[in-house]
Structure 1
């Protein structure tokens, strides 16, 4: 038991734990809609689209979080504008173009700095063990902001996820709801990149909601399950990192993905016999009567 509790007696591991829990809660609110609407590629593009803002903030000596938020907001606005101005283009085409453009701009900015390698590594892979108290305050504020978007917009988000035409019929302003959902995903990505990095943010943004969706029967149930699974992934990842000397952010994301596959496997094993009981094989057709019995029956 000492091996389970000893790491969390260290102050910086405690801060990492709280940071991971807060990120898990934020990602549970946003990731549920990412999974239900199939927006994984958009979230990936947003996370990489933050690079120009982070690069500029680093070169100018500004706040990296503010730079990331500005770039991600620009990415979200660009996606919305392309959907309105170019209806003939598919959504994935517009997202892909913005993704490449923002990433290229970030790499160009980084190439002009010879001392950005360490910061770029932290941007890509995160540094959860370096979470400070002010970072926890920022994450707590981000969680409150996410709740302020998710709770009032729940009805509109639900209609938008399952039937956008019905959302229009009910007067739920699907365009505004879509923009608010983009803002929620942007908030989650920006808040998470400092903890697990942009390349690993989807470990907490997608894996816990996807794992919970296998079992849950309602959207709030998916969010609750995602929050619990994300928290479990944080604890497990920090333990793996402490005892095996692995990267903490990558360990957390790997545990989240592992929990997803375990959830799918357990659901498959649990539902297999039930399906067998529900589906009874059709009865064999009766064997034909012999010729002499058929004549007697007639």
Structure 2
């Protein structure tokens, strides 16, 4: 993955880079300057599915289209065929606020939709129509819920400036987070769309529909020194994870966002926006973002794998 990132240093009450500036760059940005444009596409072109603990799109614009409501001119709609869309029993994504505080999970704030699959007859389709703010290249992420009897071949179609691209997504895994499909060119406005069909090789399975995210966006996780006290020293990855000396701030801080594009931020903040449980990214219980950032990545892999006594 892309190494470290812009993080909130509680001892100083400010956002800063994790690594020192050297040769007119920082490791926080330098590593991803070749990981994202070269290494990741190479792996994907070889057939790998690459999941990253940080935002992978450099685009500062972000469009969220969701069944629980969208902003600007973006819309979500459904058409019913042989089977009917209904609310899923699982919680889903909702973009309820401009900034998110510690522990808040957008993937527990809303609803998701679901229907049964059909192999023949009229299909049911969910359609996300984004209002693209400006012409450009954007990453497209989908989200859904993994439920009992989920389909393993959910058919997504992206209608972009270059035509139409189809994806078969295994919804038996990856529910409740952002799943990257690809980077595509979009024109400004509402001429493009993403669809999900319930057409499948197997009848009676479940496909679920939740939010679609287009673009990388700006950081929206607000941080402040832990009111109960924060660690006075950062624990290095090579050191034993022991309790550090605690210090309580004498200044009344308010939560503040980074002011940086999300791709520049550390993994801790992307994980929260991506619906990862706070037990994964909040390893120090809000006392040290530096430690949380690197310590959470391996645990995140374990979470993605479904948990393991080995990992």
TM-score category, normalised to shorter length? under 0.3
- TM-score under structure 1 length normalisation: 0.25
Greater percentage in helix: 1
More strand by share: 2
Q: Which has the larger radius of gyration?
A: 1
Higher normalized contact order (CA 8 Å, seq sep 6+, divided by chain length): 1
